[in-house]
Structure 1
Amino acid sequence: MNNKSHRVLIIGTGFGGVGLAIKLKQAGIDDFILLEKASGVGGTWRENSYPGAACDVPSHLYSFSFEPKLDWSRKFAPQAQILGYLQHCVAKYKLTESIRFNAEVVSAAFDASAGEWRVNLADGEQLSATVLVSACGQLSRPMYPKLAGIEAFKGPAFHSACWRHDLDLHGKRVGVIGTGASAIQFVPRIQPQVEHLTLFQRSAAYVISKPDRLYRAWELELVKQMPWLQKIDRGLKYIHHEARGLAFISMPSLMKPMRYRFVQNLNKAISDPAKRAALTPDYPMGCKRVLISNDYYPALAQNNVTLVNQAISHVSERGIVTEDGQEHACDVLIYGTGFKTSEFLAPMQITGLDGVSLNQAWQEGAQAYKGISVSGFPNFFMLYGPNTNLGHNSIIYMLESQYRYVLSAIKQLQSKQLRYVNLKPAVETNYNSGVQRAIKHTVWDQGCTSWYISAAGKHTNNWPGYTFSYRQLTRKMELTDYECVR
C-alpha cells in the first residue's frame, strides 16, 4: 500500500473499528484503512486470553445487530468465541485487504491547509487521511501496580492481559494482586492447580451470581430454524438490562434488591465470618463495577486460598510484604490490576489546530462532545470515547449509535464540499458541563474511587443516561455544532 491520501483512517480492529469499517462499506465508502498495532484483529478480546476470560453481557446482546450470531455456545460468551466472531465479521465483509497489521500509530497531526491528518507509524511510514477515527477503546492498555521493589521479585510476574500460557502453575505458590473483573474470572480457574493462592485485595467487590449456562442442543436448533427468535431474545435482554439503568442512573435506592443478591451469593459460598466480612465492600453498591460470577466465592472458600486485606508495603525477592511486616512467599505474581482507562489514546501523540496536543486539551481530564468529537481537532472522531462506557447494558449498542454519527459526518464533509469541520468550543463545554452535572445524581458519584474516575476526580468514563437517549442524541451530526471550513 502506498502513501496516497485515504478518505478515512481507523485506529484499532476491536468491535469499534471492525463495526465502523462494515458500515462504511455498506454505505459505499471503500477508501478506508484500518491500522492495527498487533498481528491480528480483536482488540481487548485478542489481548485478554487468560483462563476463564468471558463477557459479562449476554451473548445475544454482545454482537452487532446487523450481524447476529445464532450459535453461541453459552448465555455469556467465552473470549475465544467472541474473538472468533470478530474474525468471522472481518472475513465475511472482506475487510482483510483494508487492514494494515503491525502498524502501530505513534502520532498524528492535523494539516489545516490541506484539511488532512498526517499519521506516523512506528516503522517511520506516514499516511494521510481526510478523517481520522480512533477505535482504541478503554480497556487496551494494562495498568501495572505502582509498588516499591516490584523489579526485585525473582520469579515470573505478568499482567492478566499478557497471560503466560507457557507457564505451568501446578504446584506453585501464586500471588494475585487485584480483585476486579479479570481476577474474578481467572482466580477460580487457577485455584485448583496451584499449591497455594494468596489474593491481595485493596477493596472488596460486589459479586452477584451469573445467570450463565450452556445452550441446549434443541435451543440452538430452534434458533437456527427460526432466526427471529434470537432477535426477540436480544430485545428482551436489552429491555431487562436497560431497566437496570434505573438503579444506576435515576434511583440509586433501587440497588437494594441487587445488594440482597450479593449477600445471598456471598453467604451461600463463604461460611467463615472473618472472610465474609473481608469480602463485604465498604461503599455503596454500583459505585464501582458490579461483577458477576458463580465460582469466585466458592474458589475463595477453599483451603489453599488466603485472602489478604492488608495494604502492600513492598515487593521482595521472594514475594509480597504487607504493611504489618509479614512476607507472603510467592513463586509467581499475577497482576489483575485492570487497565489505564482514563488515558484515552495514550501513548499516541494527537496534535490538532495551532499545535495543541490532546494531552494539553485534556489536562483536567478527558472529555468529548457526545464522546465523539473534541474542539480543536477537526475531522477527528472517537468510538467508545470519554463518557460513553456503561454500567448496565451492552457497549455494542453505544458503538452502533456512534457509527451513525461518524458516518453522517463523513458523508456531510463530502456532500457539502468541506475541507474540515471543527467542533465549536462552547458546544463541547456546555455538553460536558451537562454530563458532569448528570453524573452527580448517579450511583457512580457516591464517594468511592474507581476506574470510572480520573486521578483528578473527574468522571471521564461512564454515560450518565440511558442507551436509547444516547442513540437519539447521535442520530446524525448537526453541522451547526461545528465551524465549517470550505
Structure 2
Amino acid sequence: MTIQPDLQPAVQHDMVVIGAGFSGIAMTIAAKAAGRDVLVLEKADEIGGTWRDNRYPGVACDVESHLYSYSFELNPDWSRAYAPGDEIQDYLLYVVEQYDVRRHVQFGAAVQQAWFEEQTSRWEVAYSTPDGGLETVTCRDLVLAVGSLHVPTAPAIPGLDAFQGELMHTATWVPGTTATGKRVGVIGTGASAVQVIPELAADAAALTVFQRTPTWVMPKNDHEISEATSERYERRPALMKARRAKIRAANETRALGFVKQPALMKAVRLRAMHHLRSSVDDEELRAQLTPAYTLGCKRIPLSDNYLTALSRRNVKLATEPIIDAGPNGLVTADGVEHPLDLLVLATGFDPSAAWKSVNVFGAKHASLTQRWEEGIDSYYGVTVPDFPNMFMLLGPNAELGHTSVLLMMEAQVELVVKLLAERDRRGAKLVSVRPEVVPAHMAQIDERSADTVWQRGGCSSWYLDKGGRNRTLWPGTVAEFERRVRNPEWVDYEFTSR
C-alpha cells in the first residue's frame, strides 16, 4: 500500500536521485549536462555516503587512489597510493562544488516510499523532513543510488544489549573515541577490521580480536605520493591518465582468477602465505590465521601492518565462538571471560538492506522490496521489469571484487543517460526493460557464477544471498560490462507512451 500524504501539489522534477554518495553525485552531474532538472534526496546532512559515514581509525580505500576517482575529474593531489577516508570525502566535497551539485540536494530527506502513477506516467516520492513533516515530489525519472555497503550488520550475541562499556560498529564510529588505556575487543576480521585493528592495538592497554573466520591478507604496498609527482601530474594530465590505465589493467587480470581460471589463485595464495610467514613468527598463531578456503572466496583485504599487529604483546586472538555478553564483556565457548571497556563491531554490511528499505512500488503495484526478498532479477544491475523510468546504480551483480567499482558505476550512469535520450528521441513517455530478456540474462549470470571462486571456494560471504546465489558481483571484467552497456540493444527495452 502506498502513502498518500495530504499535502500541497507536489513539486515536479525531471529526475529524482535518492542518495548523494559517489553514484548519486555522478548521476546528477550527467543529468545536468543533459539539460535535465534534478533533485537529490539525501537523508543525512552532508554528501559522501560511505566516506561520510565511515570515520573509524585507519579507514582507507583498498583500490589505488588514481583509479578510485571519477574519470572526468582526476585528482593529481592524492597524498598516498591508497587514499585515507577523509581525503576521499574531501575529494567528493570538491567535486560537488566544482560541478554545482549542492544546490540540487535536499538534505535531511529520508525517503519513506516511492510509487509509480500509471495514469500520469510519473513517480511520486514521499520523504520525511528533520522537523517530522512528510513531503512529496513528483518526477518523470527515478534513480536509486542508495548504495549496498550502507546498512551495518550486528552479530546475534545473547546479552549484547546489557554491555555497559562503549559499543559501536565501525560504520557508526563516534568521533573522539579513543582506545588509549582501555581493554578493547574487536569482532570480525574482514576489510574494516584489518584497517582498524592496527590503529587500536597501538593505543589499547589490551586488545582482543574475536576471529570468526581467518582471512587471507595481501600486502598493500602503500606509500606516500611525493609533491613532485603530484606537480608533474598536474602539469601533464596525460601521465596521470597513463598511471590510471596501468592500475586498471593490472587489476583486471585478477578477474581471470576469480571467474575463469581459479587455478591462477594458487600463485596469489603463495604470495599471501609468504606475507603471513614474514609477518608472524609464532607458529601456533600463524596456523590460527591461515584460512581453509580458497583465496578470493571472500574479499581480500590489503594491509602492511594487520598481521604484525596481531603479534603485539598487548594483542590476543580469540578463536572460540562468542556465546554470551554481559555488562563487563564477552564470554567465549571455552568458558573464558573477556572483560572489555570498548567493543568494536567490524561485522560488515547487509548489501540488500538499503534497497529493501526504500519501499518502491512500480507498475501493477509491483514491490521492489518483495523482489529483493525473492532474489531480485535485474538487467545489468540497472533496470527491473515492471519499474518503468526507474534505474538503479550499483544494483544486483554490479559490484566488483577485483578493482574500482566506480568504473561500473560510470558505465551504468552512461547507460541511463542513453536510455533517456533514446526515449525522448522516440517521443515516448516510458522506457523499461522487456521482461522476457531478463531471465536469460540472469541465467547467464548464474551459469558464469557457478564456477567462480566465490561459489566454489569453500566459504560463505556477503557476496551470496540466502540461497547461495551470487546476487552481488559481476562475474567478469569491467571491460566486458562496459562493452555491453555502452552499446545498448534497443530491442531489449520497451519505449511506450503509456
What's the offset of the Cα at 1:225? 2.1
Identity %: 39
Whether the aligned pair in 1 keeps the contact of 2:151 and 2:354 (CA below 8 Å) is no
Residues 59 and 72 of structure 1 are in contact (CA less than 8 Å); yes or no, is this contact kept in structure 2?
A: yes
Residue 117 of structure 2 is matched in structure 1 by: 111
8 Å contact 1:404–1:476 — kept in the other structure? Answer: no
- Maintained 8 Å contact 1:191/1:197: yes
Task: Note if contact 2:455-2:468 (Cα within 8 Å) is conserved in structure 1.
Answer: no
Q: What is the match of residue 386 of structure 1?
A: 396
Q: Partner of 2:470 in structure 1?
A: 459
SS of equivalent to 1:346: helix
- The amino acid across from 1:10 in the alignment is V
C-alpha distance in 2, partners of 1:157/1:207?
A: 26
* Partners of 1:455 and 1:188 in 2: CA distance: 32
2:173 to 148, 157, 163: 163
Matching of residue 405 in structure 1 with residue 415 in structure 2: yes
Change in 2 beyond 3 A, CA 1:344/1:424? farther
- Greater shift, 219-228 or 143-152, is seen at 219-228
Return the TM-score normalized by structure 1: 0.97
The one-letter code matched in structure 2 to 1:198 is: T
Contact 1:175–1:330 under 8 Å retained in 2: yes
User: Does 2:291 match 1:281?
Assistant: yes
Corresponding residue of 1:41: 47
Q: Return the TM-score normalized by structure 2.
A: 0.95
Alpha-carbon separation, structure 2, partners of 1:279 and 1:24: 48
Offset of residue 294 of structure 1: 0.2
Question: In 2 relative to 1, CA 306–2 (structure 1 residues): closer, same or farther, beyond 3 Å?
Answer: farther
2:44 pairs with 1:6: no
**CA offset at residue 362 of structure 1?**
2.8
Cα gap change, 1:367 to 1:34, in 2 (>3 Å): same
Q: CA deviation at 1:271?
A: 1.0
Aligned residue runs from structure 1 range 438-477, under 5 A = 438-446=448-456, 447-477=458-488
Q: 2:436 aligns with which of 426, 440, 455?
A: 426
Separation of aligned partners in 1, 2:317 and 2:64: 30
| Residue 329 (structure 2) pairs with residue 301 (structure 1) | no
> How many residues are paired up?
485
Q: What's the C-alpha RMSD, in Å, of the aligned pairs?
A: 1.4
Alignment correspondent of 1:150:
160
1:92 maps onto 2:98 in alignment: yes
SS at match of 2:59: coil
1 CA distance for matches of 2:356 and 2:440? 25
Q: Residue 165 of structure 1: CA displacement?
A: 1.9
1:32 aligns with 2:38: yes
Shift of 1:21: 1.1
| 2:18 matches 1:23 | no
- Distance across 2 between alignment mates of 1:293 and 1:198: 19
Distance 2:198 2:9 in 1: 49
Offset at residue 366 of structure 1 (A)? 2.8
Please say if residues 201 and 308 of structure 1, whose CA atoms lie closer than 8 Å, have aligned partners that are also in contact. yes
Checking the alignment, whether the CA contact within 8 Å between 1:344 and 1:385 is kept in structure 2 is no
What residue in structure 2 maps to residue 190 of structure 1?
200
The Cα shift of 1:476 comes to 4.5
SS at match of 2:402: coil
Alignment of 1:13-412 (within 5 A): 13-29=20-36, 31-123=37-129, 124-412=134-422
- Provide Cα deviations, 1:51-88, integer angstroms capped at 9, x if missing partner: 11110101110011111100100111111111011111
Residue 445 of structure 1, CA deviation: 1.1
Q: Is the 8 A contact 1:420 1:484 kept in 2?
A: yes
Moved more, 409-418 or 124-133: 409-418
Render the CA deviation track for 1:386-409: whole Å, top value 9, x for unaligned: 001111111111111101110012
Quick check: 286-295 or 419-428, which moved more? 419-428
Unaligned runs of 5+ in 2: 1-7
Question: SS at 1:345's partner residue?
Answer: helix
Distance in 2, matches of 1:360 and 1:141, equals: 18
User: 1: CA distance between counterparts of 2:190 and 2:439?
Assistant: 33
Deviation at 1:377, TM superposition (A): 1.1
Whether the 8 Å contact between 2:43 and 2:108 is mirrored in structure 1 is yes
Aligned-partner residue type, residue 430 of structure 1: A
Shift of 1:423: 2.1
Between stretches 45-54 and 316-325, larger displacement belongs to: 316-325
Aligned-partner Cα distance in 2 for 1:432–1:141: 25
- Equivalent residue, structure 2, for 1:484: 495
SS in 2 for 1:381: strand
Which one-letter code corresponds to 1:133 in the other structure? V
What is the alpha-carbon distance in structure 1 between the residues aligned to residue 105 and residue 51 of structure 2? 17
Letter in 2 for 1:457: G
Deviation at 1:477, TM superposition (A): 4.3
Which AA in structure 2 matches 1:250? K
How far the C-alpha of 1:218 sits from its partner, in A, is 2.0
Does the CA contact (< 8 Å) of 2:141 and 2:389 recur in 1?
Answer: yes
